[in-house]
Structure 1
């Protein structure tokens, strides 16, 4: 009898794990390439909203399978150069985009929020197109990412009690991201965040070009107003709203 009960319990656990599986065609990037660094910011308080967004039940990069396989190919090329991709956002539940819109219209703005929007009031972000009620991310075919120099000291960590400079400030003054200096922080709402911004220095421009070139080899297209945003044309059309569950494998 004890053996039967043990078997039933094991079957229940397996069934629960399967119940948290992803919709068809979606995968955890960690299952495709565990070497790609992940810092899924919207699952934490380290983002422009200052809290986890709706639908982010885990800090896991979820993508369409084809997207994951192409990212693996990018990573293999970068690894030979002592570099790695670092994922900031992948699949984004549709409810998270609506959460962003609601946040932008809540009527107040903190100093921490202004780090990401130094020149534009957050109440204007939706009207100006920096925040949208529907995001390409919800298709599973769009990504926010950067590069990490694996030979560098990437040990600095975000301290929520520290008063960092805004996202356009020199890298040593803005909040640490454990990555190369791309000229602005991630999610920086400023013209300096445009991929071809003339206001960045030659080294920063070289890093951006290196990232764009590596991604382009696998068919990814950069969004000109955000150096960190890439998409894979044709890999996703419909938007999804399933929450991101913890990976159980």
Structure 2
């Protein structure tokens, strides 16, 4: 009976892996200690509903990205800290969902929480939404740092996906401790081959990413 179970498990895992393009991997197969909360798989995001293409809370990235994240996790763990992923590979269909939503100006269900000071009509112009995303290339991640003992996120001064000046990495509208937390994340990502994004403290892309010009559209499942 146990032997049959192992056979079923093996073929199940093999089938899952075969669904991914070459050079992509489920992050948990490289480092299962990294926490995740894919916000676009839930209602807890700036649109207020699950996003197209997110069929499971599974983090998918390129193999090189996964290896770099594993190294960062190991470094942080020595301080009883760890990574938490909010988003990684993002199907193009999800980006298309964002674009379609952005054009419906009266749909502002989550404005008070996620973009209180930015007019929805300005989200494209100010760089918070785009028709193409580095996430669809598989080597971009949105993440934060957590305390491994409590599981709580470090205070970064603004929540993930908050659209506004306060989320800019070097915003002056945060406390000294919040800035220290941001710099802890930023510095460890920079020192491990990631580059940041000017508008968002949580957003990093692997340097020399394997697919700099390809935008994938397979679902997350």
Fold-level similarity (TM above 0.5): yes
Shift of 1:17: 5.9
TM-score where L is the length of structure 2: 0.90
Corresponding position of 1:104: 102
Corresponding position of 1:233: 207
Shift of 1:72: 0.1
Distance 2:30 2:158 in 1: 29
Shift of 1:15: 7.7
Corresponding position of 1:78: 76
Distance 2:76 2:88 in 1: 19
Note the alpha carbon deviations across 1:137-178, whole angstroms, 9 max, x for none.
0000101000101234x4xxxxxxxxxxxxxxxxxxxxxxx4
Distance 1:179 1:130 in 2: 23
Aligned length: 212
Distance 2:120 2:167 in 1: 16
TM-score where L is the length of structure 1: 0.80
Contact 1:67 1:232 in 2 (8 A): yes
Distance 1:27 1:151 in 2: 28
Distance 2:146 2:127 in 1: 29
Specify the SS of the correspondent of 1:134. Answer: coil
The structure having more radius of gyration, on CA atoms, is 1
| Structure 1 segments unaligned to the other structure (5+ residues) | 1-6, 155-177
Distance 2:42 2:67 in 1: 26
Q: Which among 3, 15, 18 is matched to residue 18 of structure 1?
A: 15
- 1:194 equivalent to 2:192? Answer no
Question: Aligned Cα RMSD in Å?
Answer: 2.0
**Runs of 4+ more than 6 Å apart:** none
Distance 1:74 1:29 in 2: 13
| Structure 2 segments unaligned to the other structure (5+ residues) | none
